[in-house]
Amino acid sequence: MTRERAAQVLVFVARGGAGDDASLAVQQTLASMGEQFRLVAEDDAEDELAQPGQAGAEPCLIVLLPAVQSPLQLARKVHRARAECHLVIVQEPAQLDSFRQALGVAPMLGRHWSLVAADGPALRTAFGQALSALRQRRQLRTTLSRVNARLAETRAVSLSDYQRLVASEHHLAHFLRNSRNAIIGLDPEMRVLFWSEGSEDLLGVAAGAAVGRPLLALGAWSGGVVRAMQEMRPDAIKHAVEFQADLDGREVALECLLTRTSDATGAFLGTSLMLRDVTARRRTQDQLREANLNLQQVVSERTQELEKSQLALVQAQKLEAIGRLTGGVAHDFNNLLQVIGSNLQLLQASLGPQPDAERLLRAALAAVDRGAKLSSQLLAFARRQPLNPMPLNISRQVQRMDELLRRALGEDLQVETVLAAGLWTTQVDANQLENVILNLAINARDAMPDGGQLTIETANAVLDEQYTDDIPDLSPGQYVMLAISDTGHGMPPDVVARAFEPFFTTKPEGKGTGLGMSMAYGFAKQSGGHIRIYSEVGAGTTIKLYLPRSFAKEVEPPPAHAGPVEGGSETVLVVEDDAAVQAAVVQTLQNLGYGVLRANDAQAALSILQSGVRVDLLFTDVVMPGPLRSTELARQARHILPGIAVLFTSGYTQNAIVHGGRLDPGVELLSKPYRQEDLARRIRDLLSRHRPVPGNARQAAPAAPGATPAADRRALRVLMVDDQGDLRDTSIQLLQMLGCEAIGAATAREARALLVEGGFDVLVTDINLPGESGLELADHARRADAKLKVVISSGYDAPPDAANQPRTWYLAKPYSYEELERLLEEIRRN
């Protein structure tokens, strides 16, 4: 079997353009398909097309690259010269639509052409389809040539051959008569020799009126046929064109196929032509092209929307990740600031009149305040700042800040307020809103170093879905808008894109922390709202804050805690796992006159509360180790002591007492770091609002007969021995509240060393101690000190011989405050 001869492939390139991307893509595709090809420079196109032997007799594939000059003009030249060739026009993807529009309705490129993007897969598909069509046409031409050769043979015609010939003529006549296409035969002078019924239907001219007449006399449409015949090369056999024609006032697109007819000697006999109405096809192609353009437009718009949404999502995720990081850092940072600030204030109170030391302490405390502000801004950005929202009228809040703003902004700025009448209320934290307004106003001031105008505006706003679709976590609806505008230098787009990132600032080093805008962003998000920047370089900046409308009745923000610092005589239970923070708080409260109990975790605090000791206020950190959470401790404390006041403190609340960014109802929180006066005022305020309920506090036991009056008692010195640290610390605190001087030890060995120093009145020991048991320790202590009283304390039954030992008592665990008090009274009497 002989291999099918490959089609000739010509690739027309611009002069010097054989190495561009599109040319290389075409060459690589043809080479990968096993096709041989030849590159032809654009300047040599005329000479190449003028050679009849190259492609005139054989169909070929001709490729036009995008770099050629006037590709449409060259394509038409190729069509006129090589009508049977398949033309593939390659364009860059971005130029594809504009080139299609340039082609118009009738591009005059014949039937065998296609337009393809310079893309590897698309090129391979287009070349494959074109080469397949070329091979089919070649096979048809070969078959037709063989049939014509056989018909041309001179031989005797038999009766059966004659009958077949007559039948063939009959079928041909039937085909021509019933074909819907217009089939016309012309002599060399372009007079009509044959006019089919399809010609009558299509062109509206009867055969009797057409045959014998010049073609040009039959209608304006004939001009397109004549031009096509003039464009036909002398050596060409066939030629195909498309053109627009007017048929009785109806604009149609006609496809015309011209064929030269010659006799056996090659003498020209005339021209056969077939006309077909391709208006519907052209309209369908135009509609398809329009649909493709519309689809591309829709895809482009949706792609842009998707990219915009993805960018917004990435930005939101980026800010969320930074928020989680800064929130965690702020927690530890606040504890450090609390320790530093509290100890500085304690040191300040203990110093005498030392001006230099006072100056240094004030500078250090100012640095603590700056650190606290920075930490607060970090938490605000991270949306971890505990908010205490209430229904507010923002316009009235701006009016309250008028004097504060004018002091902060200076005299060089003109401040104007445009406050809407009938403004809706919004549920926000008044203090945080004031911080946001002040920070944004200061940023505006810094953007106008030579003076300018600052405008604060409030208004009602309705955000629709079109606005909120591109903004994560923002719902359409009614909002209260607060806008702060300046006439400063403005911000370029790249600065606007990063303005909400923490620590990003365009100010000189040392002139700003870069946290003002990020704090405003976190506040807006945590309040369920949105913030947006509108800025133009040289024209100023407007920052709009949208906060959700509230239908609750407006309330007046409570005044800040102020007034003199007062202490008291009540009892405060301090629960704090950070030893340094705990020590500073305990010292502060003791200096204020309060009785103080301490616990390292919630479980130890619960043990103290269950002991029956009087506690007026529970001051507990929110985040603590252990299985018992601070919120559960507070609940059980209120159950045990119904009138107890509870004050939480934390540098980072997580979700324990804050949900949805807002403090749970009824929760009192003092955020770290705080100053001594802040702690004193909050505790005094809470105690004044929480009067003890009758029966809430421990009642004093009746004095036993012969009991020593309290005023005449000497403080007992007690050694408390227990290997459980929380229980030991709690017991020591109870003993101290009962007027004893208590010292603790975890093992018998430590207790022995302390007993050697002497001076103890009572030894209280657990039985199960590491190493030596408590019973052995008690025997040793009684022998060593004849006056020492011994208390055996255990969660198990009393040892059988405990009651028979001299100067020995048994105290069953768990014991209450009253039980311990009665035992000590009995020990004093004996």
Three-state secondary structure readout of 382-425: CCCCCECCEEECHHHHHHHCHHHHHHHHCCCEEEEEEECCCCCE
Specify whether the CB–CB gap between 657 and 669 falls below 8 A.
Answer: yes
d(CA 611, CA 731): 10
Of the candidates 226, 225, 256, 259, the one whose C-alpha atom is nearest the C-alpha of residue 241 is 256
Which pTM was predicted? 0.45
Specify whether the CB–CB gap between 463 and 476 falls below 8 A.
Answer: yes
d(CA 539, CA 541): 7
What is the sign of the dihedral through the CA atoms of 396, 397, 398 and 401?
A: positive
Q: Is the peptide bond before 673 cis (omega within 30 degrees of 0)?
A: yes
Helices in 89-248 by DSSP H: which ranges? 96-103, 120-152, 159-178, 197-203, 207-210, 222-231
Instruction: Map residue 254 onto helix, strand or coil.
Output: strand
Order of strands, sheet of 717-721, starting from the edge strand that comes earlier in the sequence: 741-745, 717-721, 762-766, 789-794, 808-812
Instruction: Name the token pair of 685.
Output: 């305020």
Cα distances (Å, whole numbers) of residue 795 to 554, 609, 729, 765, 798 = 57, 19, 17, 12, 9
Cα distances (Å, whole numbers) of residue 136 to 132, 140, 144, 236 = 6, 6, 12, 20
**Token pair 């208004």: residue:** 459
DSSP H or E run through 86: strand 86-91
Counted residue by residue, the chain has a size of 830
d(CA 210, CA 191): 9
Phi, psi at 544, each rounded to 5°: -110, 125
Q: Give the bridge partners for 456, in sequence order.
A: 417, 484
Burial class (CB in 10 A: 0-12, 13-18, 19+), 303: exposed
DSSP code string of 271-337: EEEEEEE-HHHHHHHHHHHHHHHHHHHHHHHHHHHHHHHHHHHHHHHHHHHHHHHHHHHHHHHHHHH
Burial class (CB in 10 A: 0-12, 13-18, 19+), 478: middle
**Token pair 């947006």: residue:** 532
**Token pair 């009067």: residue:** 691
d(CA 233, CA 438): 85
Helices in 179-278 by DSSP H: which ranges? 197-203, 207-210, 222-231
Q: What is the mean pLDDT of each run of 10 residues along the chain (830 residues)?
A: 58 76 85 85 81 55 78 80 83 83 72 83 85 76 73 64 67 69 87 85 84 87 87 84 85 89 80 88 86 87 78 67 63 70 72 74 75 64 63 89 81 85 88 84 86 90 83 85 90 86 70 72 84 88 92 78 74 88 86 87 87 86 83 89 87 52 66 82 85 44 44 75 81 82 90 87 90 88 88 76 76 77 86
Of the candidates 654, 642, 644, 647, the one whose C-alpha atom is nearest the C-alpha of residue 621 is 647
Specify whether the CB–CB gap between 792 and 807 falls below 8 A.
Answer: no
pLDDT for the residue numbered 57: 44
pLDDT for the residue numbered 559: 65
DSSP H or E run through 176: helix 159-178
d(CA 123, CA 567): 88
d(CA 583, CA 596): 11
**Token pair 């080139």: residue:** 99
Alpha-carbon Rg of the chain, whole angstroms?
A: 50
Instruction: Map residue 564 onto helix, strand or coil.
Output: coil
Phi, psi at 64, each rounded to 5°: -105, 125
Phi, psi at 581, each rounded to 5°: -65, -45
**Token pair 């089939």: residue:** 183
pLDDT for the residue numbered 704: 42
Specify whether the CB–CB gap between 106 and 253 falls below 8 A.
Answer: yes
pLDDT for the residue numbered 127: 85
Cα distances (Å, whole numbers) of residue 249 to 203, 204, 246, 603 = 12, 12, 6, 100
Instruction: Name the token pair of 755.
Output: 């007993």
d(CA 598, CA 368): 25
Q: Is the peptide bond before 814 cis (omega within 30 degrees of 0)?
A: yes
Query: What's the gap between Cα 407 and its chain centre?
Result: 38
**Token pair 């030392």: residue:** 354
Longest dimension (CA), the chain: 162
Specify whether the CB–CB gap between 257 and 179 falls below 8 A.
Answer: no
